[in-house]
């Protein structure tokens, strides 16, 4: 597995921490998923009563890498400010950078994303940019100092899976040495497995687990899916054919008269 800013993850599953029915279910889901990374959305909390500290304590006790994100930020200034707050609270240089450009689809504002990524890398952050599968944008993010790319599979929380397979394949082919993570849109274990089969290095998901009827069982299913997809990619799967090909050779077949 490729390294993420010098870190080798134990598993290629990154899991979000929002929308779970309870803190206990969140903890159990992480345990059964064997996720290596927990993403956390930072919100401004009251400095007087330290609200939210209980949640931060739960996250730290998961014993995984913490990846704070700038979810809900629509401007460069907002994203950069949120990232600095996250570094102070979680004591990590990692940041999942989101600069949202469209309210309905939550599509990244790639212009603001590149600008914010450049600012944050210069400030010493290790940036995980939530982006599209656009090759030009990917090049500019790498030029800005990013060493990881996180293209979306589909709109956040939609559960649609991988909407642009050709785009994702092209991104993987053009950047074979860059760690790539499919982020957003994963709804089923088959979606996660497919992303790994394409040669991606990890998947990041949240809603598919947190909003499932049984989040713990779904987390387990996702763990199995990413493991299977990763193994399939390593096995170098066969290419699809346009026509049938017999699995039993014709040579040596008995002919009846």
Taking only the tens place, the pLDDT of each residue in 203-257 is 999 999 999 999 999 999 999 999 999 999 999 988 888 888 878 776 666 666 6
Partner residues linked to 68 by β-bridges = 40
pLDDT tens column, 52-103: 567 777 888 888 999 999 999 999 999 999 999 999 988 899 999 999 999 8
Residues ≥6 apart with Cβ < 8 Å to 159: 185, 186, 187, 188, 207, 208
196 has pLDDT over 80: yes
Q: Rounded to an integer, what distance in angstroms lies between the CA atom of residue 204 and that of residue 97? A: 13
Select the more confidently predicted residue: 165 or 104.
165
- Does this model's pTM top 0.75? My answer is yes
φ, ψ of residue 91 to 5 degrees: the values are 55, 50
What average pLDDT does this structure show over 187-213?
Answer: 97
204 in Cβ contact with 183 (< 8 Å) = yes
Q: Alpha-carbon Rg of the chain, whole angstroms?
A: 20
Provide the sign of the torsion angle of the four alpha carbons 157, 204, 130, 83, taken in this order.
Answer: positive
Tell me if residue 96 is catalytic. yes
- Burial profile 75-109: b = 16 or more Cβ within 10 angstroms, e = fewer: ebebbbebbebbbebbeeebbbbbbbeeeeebbbb
Q: In which band, very low, low, confident or very high, does the pLDDT at 45 lie, cut at 50, 70 and 90? A: very low
pLDDT of residue 60: 80
| Active-site residue, from 96, 140, 211, 253 | 96
41 in Cβ contact with 69 (< 8 Å) = yes
Q: Rounded to an integer, what distance in angstroms lies between the CA atom of residue 22 and that of residue 28? A: 10
Select the more confidently predicted residue: 167 or 59.
167
pLDDT of residue 89: 86
Q: How many CB atoms lie within 10 A of CB 175?
A: 15
Q: Rounded to an integer, what distance in angstroms lies between the CA atom of residue 117 and that of residue 115? A: 5
pLDDT tens column, 116-160: 999 999 999 999 999 999 999 999 999 999 999 999 999 999 999
Q: How many CB atoms lie within 10 A of CB 136?
A: 8
pLDDT of residue 31: 94
pLDDT of residue 242: 86
pLDDT of residue 49: 44
């Amino acid at each position: 597995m490729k390294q993420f800013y010098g870190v080798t993850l134990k598993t290629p599953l990154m899991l979000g921490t929002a929308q779970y029915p309870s803190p206990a279910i969140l903890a159990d889901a992480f345990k059964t998923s064997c996720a290596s990374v927990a993403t956390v959305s930072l919100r401004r909390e009251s400095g007087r009563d330290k609200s939210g500290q209980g949640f931060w304590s739960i996250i730290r006790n998961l014993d995984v890498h913490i990846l704070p994100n700038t979810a809900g930020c629509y401007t460069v200034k907002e994203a950069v400010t949120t990232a600095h707050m996250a570094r102070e609270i979680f004591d990590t240089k990692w940041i999942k950078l989101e600069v949202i450009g469209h309210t309905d689809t939550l599509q990244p504002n790639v212009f603001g994303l590149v600008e914010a990524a450049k600012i944050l890398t210069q400030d010493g952050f290790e940036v995980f940019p939530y982006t599209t599968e656009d090759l030009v944008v990917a090049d500019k993010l790498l030029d800005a100092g990013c060493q990881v790319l996180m293209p979306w599979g589909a709109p956040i929380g939609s559960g649609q899976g991988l909407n642009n397979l050709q785009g994702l394949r092209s991104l993987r082919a053009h950047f074979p040495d860059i760690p790539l993570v499919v982020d957003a849109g994963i709804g089923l274990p088959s979606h996660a497995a497919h992303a790994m089969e394409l040669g991606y290095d990890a998947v990041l998901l949240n809603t598919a687990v947190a909003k499932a009827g049984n989040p713990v069982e779904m987390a387990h299913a996702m763990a199995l899916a990413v493991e299977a997809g990763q193994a399939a990619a390593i096995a170098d799967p066969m290419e699809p054919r346009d026509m049938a090909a017999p699995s039993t050779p014709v040579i040596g077949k008995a002919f009846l008269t």
